[in-house]
Amino acid sequence: MNKVPERIMIASHPARDDDGQLAKHIASYLRENGVQVEIKDSVYDAAIVEGIKKSQVDLLIAIGGDGTMLRAGHICAPFQVPILGINAGSFGFLMEVEADEWREKLDILLCGDYRLEDRMMLEAVHFRGEKVLGRFDVLNEVVVCRGRMVRPIRLHAYVDGYLLSSYVADGLIAATPTGSTAYALAAGGPVMPPEMRNILIMPIAPHLSMDRAIILPLGSCVSFVVSTDHEAVMSIDGKSPVDLDDRDRINVSVQDYAAKFIRFQDPGYFHRNLNKYMEQNPSKGK
C-alpha cells in the first residue's frame, strides 16, 4: 500500500475543451472524498511548476494524450512528484486510465492500492565548442537530424569518448526505454521494457552506413557530433527544433532522477498491452 495523496493538481491539454470539463468532474469527485484539489487549464501553466517546486502537490493528474504526459514528466520528475495519466487523446500509450473509467481507478488510488513505476530520463547537453548552449530533460528521445532540406547529414556517434560509428543519414535518435515505442520504433528499432535503464541509438534512413539499432550498457554516455554544410536540428521529445551548427556536439546521459507514473496494473501489463497498441492504433484512422 502506498501513501494516499492529499493534495492533487489536475492539468489538461490547453486545446481541448472536453479535457477541461473532465478535469472539473474529477476535481468535484475528489473533493467529495476529502482531497484538496487545484485545477489548471493547461499543462503548460507556470503555476504548476511553482506549486510542485514548493512541495504543494502530492500528485499531478494529466488529462490528454502522450504529449501531455511527456510535458507532465518534464515538470514532475525533478521533484519526484508522481503522475497519473488519464487518456483523452487518440493514442495514449503512456496513459494509465481511460476516460470512461476514472471513477473506478480514483477509488483504488484513494485506497493507496497502486504502485509507482520509474521511467528513466536522459539529460541532453548542447555544446558549441566548449560553450554549453542548453540542457534538456528527456523522457522519450533526443533526435539530431536534417532540417527542411531533403539531404542527409553526417553524424559521428561516440560512446564514453570512443568513436562508435559515423553515419550519413537523415538523423540519429537517442531514446529511453519509454521512447523505444515512439519515433525509434517507427524508424525500425526494438521495443525495450520500461524498467530498463539503457540508452537506445537508432539511425534514421542511413545511407551506406550502419543501419542497426544499438543498446548501450547501463551507465554509458553517448555524444552526437554534427558534420554538415546545410541545416541540421535537434528536437527533444517532439518539441520545437533547436538549430545546430557544423561541429556542434550533443552529450546524452542518464538523468539522476526518473519520472514516476502511477500504475494500477501489475508489471506484466506492458507486454500484454503492446499488441493492442501495435495492431489497433487508433491514430491509423486519422
Active-site residue set: 66
Please classify residue 38 by burial: count the beta carbons closer than 10 Å to its beta carbon, then call 0-12 exposed, 13-18 middle and 19+ buried.
Answer: middle
Cell triple for 238: 517532439
Q: How many CA atoms lie within 13 A of 122 on its CB side?
A: 33
CB atoms under 10 Å from CB of 278, counted, come to 11
Cell triple for 30: 475528489
Task: Report how far residue 95's alpha carbon sits from residue 226's, in angstroms, rounded to the nearest whole number.
Answer: 35
Cell triple for 283: 491514430
Q: Residue 102 carries which DSSP code?
A: H
Q: For residue 130, give the amino acid letter.
A: E
Alpha-carbon distances of 10 from 22, 45, 103, 121, 193, rounded to whole Å: 10, 11, 15, 23, 28
Task: Report how far residue 115's alpha carbon sits from residue 112's, in angstroms, rounded to the nearest whole number.
Answer: 9
